[in-house]
Amino acid sequence: MLTPLSQSKQPIGIFDSGVGGLTVLNAIRELLPNEDLLYLGDTARVPYGTKSRASVVNYALQASHYLYHQGIKLLVIACNTATAAALTSLQQHYHPVPVIGVIEPGAMTAANMTQNGHVGVIATESTIQSKAYEHALHRHNPSLTISSQACPLFVPLVEEGWLNGPVVEQIITHYLQPIFQHPDNTPDCLVLGCTHFPLLRKAIQNVIGEKVTIIDSAHTTADLVQQHLTEQGLLNPQINKGNLRILMTDLPTRFMRTANLFLDSDETANAVIEQVDLVQQGYELAEQD
């Protein structure tokens, strides 16, 4: 059995369907720079949003199983689609290793911060259709008004490096206009319900104005990770900056090119980068109910 000290020195595991979860990794790195981080991007099967729920749960179980056997002390699901579909299954399957998703922290923060009781949520189509944010927000405050909007072009914008400028703001305006078209009935908080979206934060703020508070679920998730590790006495005691190991399930070339939009170049230069095959290594699991 691991002692609390040896357990505290284990890495934090983070997984996503691709590169978007690197915003969560970045937020955790900023908040907890001395933690060792192990990131797995399931790039061979991205995007999860077009897959069935059963497939997403199975993929999430495979990725988590791999990270679990690397000796992690906490698992972060840095993917909204996987969180909506598989959080409960993973929490049951890997107990007592804590599993944190990206939906609940952002919803809780928005429910606590809104002054007018109206919260906007933008995400991918699959996340919006799942109503996962609506359910999470209403768990914290059943009286909230929620305006949700799918923004399918935001992910390709980010992955192509289009983060600002008139064209980007025109696209943002196109998607957000339905939520903010009535000045007397608009959200005062906007949840970024996709881990790619924080890279568009400045452009989004330019479009919606400074009076609307943007809730970045990457940072709210990092806050919850810090809170949990502190409460459990599992913060890494090392003084030096933690190691970063990045795993992916497809060739690393495109992944790393896009990763440079999310991470500091020194971070990627010093990271250990590997390609893994989850199925060939025996992590073929059935859905757990």
Placement of tokens 């944010």 in the chain: 133
Q: Which of these is catalytic: 90, 155, 194, 229?
A: 194
Amino acid letter, residue 38: L
> Mapping DSSP to helix (H, G, I), strand (E, B) and coil, where does residue 46 land?
coil
DSSP annotation string for 147-168: EEEE-TTHHHHHHTT--SSHHH
Q: Which helix (H) or strand (E) holds 29?
A: helix 22-31
Specify whether 151 is catalytic: no
Q: Which of these is catalytic: 79, 85, 86, 90?
A: 79
Amino acid letter, residue 132: A
Q: Give CA–CA dist 102/66, Å, rounded.
A: 20
Amino acid letter, residue 203: A
- Alpha-carbon distances, residue 276 vs 37, 39, 63, 245 (angstroms): 17, 12, 10, 12
Q: Tokens standing for 268?
A: 């990627």
Q: Give CA–CA dist 73/273, Å, rounded.
A: 21
> Mapping DSSP to helix (H, G, I), strand (E, B) and coil, where does residue 39 land?
strand
Q: Annotated active-site positions, please? A: 79, 194
